[in-house]
Amino acid sequence: MNRRELLRNSLLAMGVVAINPHAGARIFPAGEDAFLELEKPDWTPVFLNQQQNETLIVLSDAIIPATDTPGAKAALVNRFLDLVISAQPATVQKEFLDSLAWFDAAATERSKTTFDKLTAEERTDLLNLVAWPHSRSSWGQTEAAYPGYQHFIRLKLWIASAYYSSPIGLKEQGWDGWAARGTFTGCEHQPSEHKDAK
Amino acid sequence: MFFEDPLTRTYDAIVVGSGATGGWAAKQLAEAGLQVALLEAGRNVSPREFTEHKPVFELKYRDMSGAGDWRKRRPVQIQCYACTEYNYDWFVDDVENPYSTPAGKPFTWQRMRIVGGRTLCWGRQSYRLSDLDFRAASFDGYGQDWPISYKDMAPFYDRVEEYVGISGAAEGNDALPDGHFLPPMKMTCGEVHFRETVAKAFGRTITIGRTAILTDTHNGRSACHYCGTCERGCISFSYFSSPFTTVKDALKTGKCTLLTNAIAAQIEMDPATNLAKGVTFVDGTTKQTKTIRGKTVILCAQALESTRILLNSTSGSHTAGLGNSSGLLGKGLMDHATGAGAGGDLPQFKDAPDAYSAPHRANGIYIIRYRNTSKATRQPNFIRGYGFQGGAGAEFDFEAEGFGAAYKQAVKAGKYRIEVGGFAESLARDDNFISIDPTLKDAWGIPALHISMTHGDNEQALINDAAATGAEMLEAAGATNIRISSKVAEPGMAIHELGTARMGNDPKTSVTDQYCQLHDVKNIFAMDGACFVSSGCQNPTLTMMAITVRACDQLIARFKKHEI
């Protein structure tokens, strides 16, 4: 084998190819972290207006509050949702905004103010009304599903998705800053120990 | 310039496609001393692209549906669970790679163009077919038997398993022959309970998934570190993926030249000898058309792509494509019927969900086929059978009701769930076919496919039965809130495309012989899923690889005898 063949074979063995080595590969740069954009002090919404943003902050923190662990506000749920909803189809954007508007309208109807300005007690009262499915009817009228539930579920789904995919939300699920690892141990009981499981 | 122009030589073999079967063909032929050109339509891949450890919040849109311009160019590919914001560029651009379907007959064609193809993202489930599958026609009278039996295939399954590394457990069940397994992954408590209950109540076998993930150091690769997101790559190469195993081995020989961004268009024929003399491809970067010369052409481009190349190779007497004297090329398209499932809660188990950073098993359980496996299990309403993949374990309960601190607590407490999903045999029917669309071309000017496939009454009956028996097994295990699904999913959703160039002994009723050689052209081979006669209900990649190894053994012997 001459020098040229040796070099060529060595390159081929390393995966170097005859045409267009690694052309177009999409590689995430080390340290690239989209969350850093959300943490910027000069962050401003790209999709929501100021009122919608305030309503979303308060609603998300009411659904997932700070307890012994941080809540949705600290997880910047509103900032991520502002970004992700801005990239959704128009129908999804409209549904999202309609649901936010419903909460402000319901707060105004009940307490003459927008949702973000309700007292904690008023917020809890309103959320208790919409957080479970129920219907409403009056004498002589056909029973109808209470519309607030659909708006609540729609926004809760977005808020929970944003929260539990944030750094704070991952920690809530046991993220220690590193990827999952180890050996999966599975069931460590003796055979037939599950016979009473039914 | 150190490199000799790869197009100035005549190779012993041109292998088209670098995935599960192409990698094997390149490795085997190159290790036997043949000069091999390996054509791959996509670019090369580097471990630097792997993202299995990248937390989701670091992505701009956290892979949430609807967001990201890349989705607009991949409306088909995003139907695949594995196509995400992390790795979408491994999947084809649907705008550049169109295909057509008849009105009312959708088909989802999920594909990857990159060195390694779908082995980068495959589900890794690896099961042998049995004579229930190879001899299915003899058993129930439908279709054709394969020209090979399990006995013919067993040594090649052994070789593939010993190289790839399949973890699993032997069960002694004839419907799913045992292999050479690395230690099995562990079952959860709920799965152990399910296995014991179902065995006792129904005599059915539930085993841990047999998967191409290492549970021990094997052939220079490390055991799985259980991060759980294999479809984003694996820095320890613990799951089988051709670029880092078979293709790497082929390149090591110095006998294999890999050409990337080489989009095979058609096979060039020598009319004087009726033999293939090369492959014309389009350079994906420059869009120049080039030809590479070879003594044999081995198609491993994925079932539909391999047959597309044959159909597009019209010349001389081969007016309807190469290997089509029977008129069967393109016919008999199959893809496992999916959509049957049952799920529920196992409230008797109180375990909390595993922490995010705790080990995650990228594998589940498998319920071995139990319908039409003997006279005693013959069914009046359908032929063939189905298997289930599934799992049981505690999960974070993001769908918990309510709000506030109670909701957070409920999410963390989790729910113990169990789910099974059926994969049913798809019958080979000549009215499920691919052909060349007369007007549609891809971005490189290559005529595109027209894909026409529906699942039929037998598949629907299988799916109905799978849903019902899935639910009965869950009920026996004490599951609550059982939900079932029996809507047959759109063809293609199993991502197990098979057939269109089936093998057989009779050139009038098949396209290739038992060694994947076209009956019509003695130096062209279709060594991927295209040669399947029937689909079985098992995940097919292990069988595809074993068929390739068997066919390459025969080809090497012919080279040694100077028959080629």
- Using CA atoms in the order B245, B248, B254, B259, what is the torsion angle rounded to 10 degrees? 130
**Is the CB of A69 less than 8 angstroms away from the CB of B191?**
no
Please tell me the distance from the alpha carbon of residue A126 to that of residue B14, in angstroms, as a whole number.
70
User: Are the C-beta atoms of B210 and B366 separated by less than 8 Å?
Assistant: yes
Encoded tokens for B77: 């590919």
| Percent of chain B topping pLDDT 70 | 99
SS (H, E, C) B383-394: CCCEEEEEEEEE
Question: What tens digit of pLDDT does each residue of B4-40 get?
Answer: 788 999 999 999 999 999 999 999 999 999 999 999 9
**Is the CB of B261 less than 8 angstroms away from the CB of A19?**
yes
pLDDT at position A16 over 50: no
pLDDT at position A1 over 80: no
- Contacts of residue B3 in chain A, CB cutoff 8 Å? 8, 18
Q: What are phi and psi of B465, to 5 degrees?
A: -65, -40
Q: How confident is the model at residue A140 (pLDDT cuts 50, 70, 90)?
A: confident
Question: What tens digit of pLDDT does each residue of B235-256 get?
Answer: 999 999 999 999 999 999 999 9
- Strands B340-345 and B480-486 come out as antiparallel
Closest CA of chain B from A139, distance in Å: 29
pLDDT at position A5 over 70: no
Question: What tens digit of pLDDT does each residue of A44-82 get?
Answer: 999 999 999 999 999 999 999 999 999 999 999 999 999
**Residues of chain B numbered 242-281 and touching chain A (CB < 8 Å):** 243, 248, 251-252, 254, 256-262
Give chain B's mean pLDDT. Answer: 97
- Is A173 within 8 Å of chain B by CB? yes
- Check residue A72 and report its DSSP letter: T
Encoded tokens for B292: 């590479």
pLDDT at A142: 72
- Contacts of residue A187 in chain B, CB cutoff 8 Å? 186-189, 191-192
> CA B62 → CA A35, A48, A80, B94, B100, distances in Å?
10, 19, 9, 22, 32
pLDDT at position B399 over 90: yes
- Is A132 within 8 Å of chain B by CB? yes
What's the rounded mean pLDDT across residues B383-397?
98
- Does the ipTM exceed 0.85? yes
pLDDT at A192: 67
What's the rounded mean pLDDT across residues A97-117?
97
pLDDT at position A20 over 80: no
Question: What tens digit of pLDDT does each residue of B30-79 get?
Answer: 999 999 999 999 999 999 999 999 999 999 999 998 899 999 999 999 99
- Contacts of residue A59 in chain B, CB cutoff 8 Å? none
Amino acid at B532: F
**Residues of chain B numbered 291-320 and touching chain A (CB < 8 Å):** none
Instruction: Give every CB contact of residue B374 below 8 A, 6+ residues apart in sequence.
Output: none
**Is the CB of A88 less than 8 angstroms away from the CB of B66?**
yes
Question: What tens digit of pLDDT does each residue of B259-306 get?
Answer: 999 999 999 999 999 999 999 999 999 999 999 999 999 999 999 999
**Is the CB of B67 less than 8 angstroms away from the CB of A5?**
no
Residue B110, Cβ density class (10 Å: 0-12 exposed, 13-18 middle, ≥19 buried): buried
pLDDT at A145: 72
Question: What tens digit of pLDDT does each residue of B413-427 get?
Answer: 999 999 999 999 999
Length of chain A counted residue by residue: 198
| Runs of H (alpha helix) within chain A | 3-13, 35-38, 50-63, 77-86, 90-111, 120-130, 147-164, 167-172
Substitution target from B15, B57, B63, B83 for chain A, most A beta carbons within 10 A: B57
**Best CA proximity match to B167, nearest among B102, B198, B213:** B213
